[in-house]
A = this chain, B = another copy of it.
Amino acid sequence: MRRTKPRRFVVPANSSARSAPRAARYERQLPEQRRLALIAATIDCLKRYGHEGLSIRTISARAGVSVGLINHHFPNKDELIAAAYRHFNAELVAGLKAAVARAAPQPRQRLRAFLQASFSPPNLDRDVLAAWVVFWGMYRHSRAIQRVHGENYESYVELVHGLLAELIRDERPRGTSVNLRFIAMGLSALLDGLWLEWCLEPANVRPAEAVALCESWIDNLCRGADSSRLE
């Protein structure tokens, strides 16, 4: 709601302050740069303080700007958070894709690189995973978060699908078939679950063990031990 009361009288700057050569009080930035800085500050606050760090004042303080600036670059707080979620998602997928691209060309090596990247810094960070959980917690009740989730989760699923398809084409015995959708669903679920468990109690899950668990699971399914019930 708009303010209705008149503003108080504003005392003008005195002449001495006006005549002295003043240092610049702030630096103007291009809108795109400032937006990125605000998004970075949002993610940083989320990692540090969890859900309670997502206040306009906390974020603007961390970004080193005034409280009013956020609403100059974003229509409201939800849109800022959604933008932060988009950035967060995009960075994750980009990092994983880069790790895969650096790996040897064999499907197995590429998949291993993907798994190892998933279970090593910067992804395997309690702060990062805490941020994920906060985003998930908003998913149900925030249209903006839902929209971004839909946009970016696609690309993650595609990545997992592609890696598994390569592997199956390479290693699967001729004449047998698997249900790729199920395997991909299971792998991403296993990944998420292990992530989550490590986040809640890091002592329970060692990263190398998590990778081994995932690989073992894929091995079993690819060898076709029993995927009939999954068709």
Binary interface encoding of chain A residues 192-231 relative to chain B, with 1 for a CB under 8 A from any of its CBs, else 0: 1110110111001100010011011101110101110110
Say which size band chain A's interface belongs to. Answer: 35 or more
A188 to B6 Cα, complex, angstroms: 61
Q: Across the interface, which residues of B come within 8 angstroms of A137, CB to CB?
A: 50-51, 130, 133-134, 136-137
Copies of the protein in its oligomer: 2
The answer to whether B185 and A189 touch across the interface, beta carbons within 8 angstroms, is no
Is A144 among interface residues, defined by CB-CB distance under 8 A? no
A189 to B194 Cα, complex, angstroms: 5
Q: Across the interface, which residues of B come within 8 angstroms of A192, CB to CB?
A: 189, 192-193, 196-197
The answer to whether B136 and A133 touch across the interface, beta carbons within 8 angstroms, is yes
Query: What are 19 A-B residue pairs whose CB atoms fall within 8 Å in the complex?
Result: A50-B140, A51-B51, A51-B137, A130-B137, A130-B139, A153-B200, A185-B204, A186-B194, A188-B193, A189-B190, A189-B196, A190-B190, A196-B196, A216-B221, A216-B229, A217-B217, A219-B225, A220-B226, A223-B225
Q: Across the interface, which residues of B come within 8 angstroms of A139, CB to CB?
A: 130, 133, 200
